[in-house]
Chain A
Amino acid sequence: MAGSALRRLMAEYKQLTLNPPEGIIAGPITEENYFEWEALITGPEGTCFEGGVFPAKLVFPSDYPLSPPKMTFTCEMFHPNIYADGRVCISILHAPGDDPMGYESSSERWSPVQSVEKILLSVISMLAEPNDESGANVDAAKMWRENREEFNKIAEKLVRKTLGIPINP
């Protein structure tokens, strides 16, 4: 029911504001609609995405937290676990019932004890360590496995793009 979902989202927003984890900012896009959030995720240090600030959109279902939100990056991304349209494919965002990849154990899936914060932390670890078994972006997965240097170059370009810094000649 939207009423209890709303209160839970409010509580999560409050927690994320008062106690923000490093490198994460998240909150509703407008106060008018608590079911659509924007999150900024800092690329983890020591990885090819280091320094970038990646914006993503979270859309919550009206029965949240019983069902997981949907997460899409709104910036250009190149990553084995992110679809070309920005959709994030990690196990924590999959409802217990569906298993499109057929490889996840149900313990990694969504459950109401998960939260926005845990999703975003999982996404950060996903950025650091792609899971090249799930092929949301096959090209990226292949490049990650076979040509890491090229992958890092692309990631560097994306980082610059998110910061609004032109690519140097």
Chain B
Amino acid sequence: MEFMMVDRLPVPRLSTYISATVVSISAASYYSYKYSMDASTPEQSAIQDPSQTEDPIDVYYEQMLNVLAFMLQDPLCFLVLCNGAICSIVMVGAVIQSLVLGNLRPVEHIQFRERLWNWVIYKFIFMFIILKAYTLDKVALWLFWYSTLGFLHLMTSLCKDRFEYMWMSMGTGTRVNWKYIHMSVLLSIGFIFSLFLLNFAYLVGLTLSKHIFAFMVIECLMLAGSIAHIFLRHYIQLFHRNSINHTTSPGKFIYYSELGLDLGIRVMEILHYSHAIIWTNSYLTMAGFVIFMHMRQLISDIQKRLQKHKNFLWVHSHLEKNYPMASIEELDVNSDNCAICWEKMDSARKLPCGHLFHNGCLQSWMEQEPSCPTCRLSLTLGHDQNIPMNNTNNVGQDTLGTHALTPHHFFHFDGSRYLSWLPSFSVEVTHSLRPPSQILTSQLETMARQVLQLFPYYPMSMIIEDLLTTRSVDLTIDNILEGRLVSPLQNIEDEPAIIESVPTVSSVEQFINAPSYTKFNTNLGEPVIDDLVSLGSQFSKSPDERENILRVRKQTMIMKARQKYMSKVSSSKTE
């Protein structure tokens, strides 16, 4: 159930919540202690039997019991106690989260917050409108039930998010495997807990009413189902990651059990809601409306999923019926990889246009669009034989070739260098040759040094800038003496605020003189940059190294572009 405003509601910090709970509990106990003392003093004074000296521990114990009994009777104190119980569950959750998942990523944090509020708001509505929990013992029961269930649900969805995130990274190593194991253990514990809750529903719910028992059972089953779903999806992911060729798919059984779980969870939810509405007869209430909206969403989800499944079946039979698998000779002739996954083909399905693909790859593409990925030949029935075989590369070439046909050819790209089906550009590269600006730069530098000796407070960049216009040391010195050139350092004494608006880089030449400009400097040092020629043709096996190499390559590219630009500017300026 989605509530619009939920993303704006803040979640209090854990420490704040815990301290607030502790304060409220101590306040409640103090209040009830005082109250129960007040209530019991007249009694005690009435009895007043000096011969009966009680053991002080017994008195203490009795007082404690009194206080507790009072707290349980007083609604406010009772709720405070319930909050304390929920707080301890939250604390357990926080510990588990930090042990198993570590810190949450910002996205996970936002999603967690949304889910938490959705859960709290929805279950609140459910508790008071559907279950009509108006007595204290019922409130306690449902608070216990929903906080435990919510705890498990939130943990499950956190694990699900984390699993999905981990599938996106390349990491395998032992550390990652340990993480997988941790999370699997956590999920298994969640699964076992859901069975415990089922048992609890049998013991408690059944004594209350059959309807309540049904609610509880369905809630447990939904939790167990979603955990099983995560395990299944994880298995499928692992299968896709580790299968070397795409000839096999995870198998019919896995496919159908995923489909079954997907649909099953939603059907259960719909049953749950319709049961609630019918039982409480709340068709025309606000709660009924909210639930109806949610059910509509669920039904459309189910429809979409069924449509997808129908499509899958159609593509599957269509492929089987119309396009044969490629023979071994055909595979030998074709040395290309599968164009969809870029991996080697040990077996492949052959399309009428002559293109080969893995069966699994083609299946998943066809579910999306029935056409050949390479040449766009339509693969719906009836169009199969209309397009001649020799059409194979022309259409694909047009995809990028349109750019090559236009008058500005500026880039060289030979697609066949990599794979035969890649298009090739015909290109002309125009290099406007510019005179090297090195001599000019060094001249400028010596001139600037001369000026600097006289005026050490002036920044080098500023002097160079002025020299670029005056082209003479004497004129620049005159400019400084006559105050036409103001040093930013002088401004500090006058108006300290101005220094902030003075850019750190005030001259273009500074880049030429200082190639390792701080903004783009890294701790890698220059020797790495010098090795750049070799870096280009190297793909490290270690992720860290890859990351470093990529970073250095990027920096070098920017630096070179800057130097090139500078030399262009300075050469055009001095012309």
Contacts and interface: CB of A to CB of B under 8 A. Distances in A.
Interface residues of B, number: 80
A159 interface: yes
A27 B395 CA distance: 29
- Among A108, A111, A163, residue most surrounded by chain B Cβ atoms (within 10 Å): A111
A51 B505 CA distance: 19
Contacts of A4: 240-241, 246, 341, 361
B571 interface: no
Interface string A48-60: 0001110000000
Interface in B155-174: 164-165, 167-171
- Among B246, B373, B511, B553, residue most surrounded by chain A Cβ atoms (within 10 Å): B373
B365 A35 contact: no
Contacts of A113: 339-340, 373-374, 396, 421
Contacts of B421: 113
Contacts of B171: 31-32
A129 to B, nearest CB: 6
Interface stretch (A5-13, A80-88, A140-148): A5-13
B399 A92 contact: yes
A15 interface: yes
Interface stretch (B8-16, B55-63, B87-95, B407-415): B407-415
Contacts of B402: 108
A84 B10 CA distance: 31
B167 A2 contact: yes
B550 interface: yes
Nearest to B357: A112
Given A4-B246, A46-B408, A122-B400, A111 B373 contact: yes
Given A8-B341, A14-B539, A113-B421, A3 B553 contact: no
A24 B116 CA distance: 44
Nearest to B507: A166
B554 interface: yes
B411 A125 contact: yes
Interface in A129-169: 129, 159-160, 163-166, 168
Contacts of B343: 7, 11
A92 B398 CA distance: 12
B568 interface: yes
A70 to B, nearest CB: 15
11 contacts: A27-B546, A51-B564, A53-B557, A65-B341, A92-B399, A96-B368, A96-B369, A113-B373, A121-B400, A129-B403, A164-B562
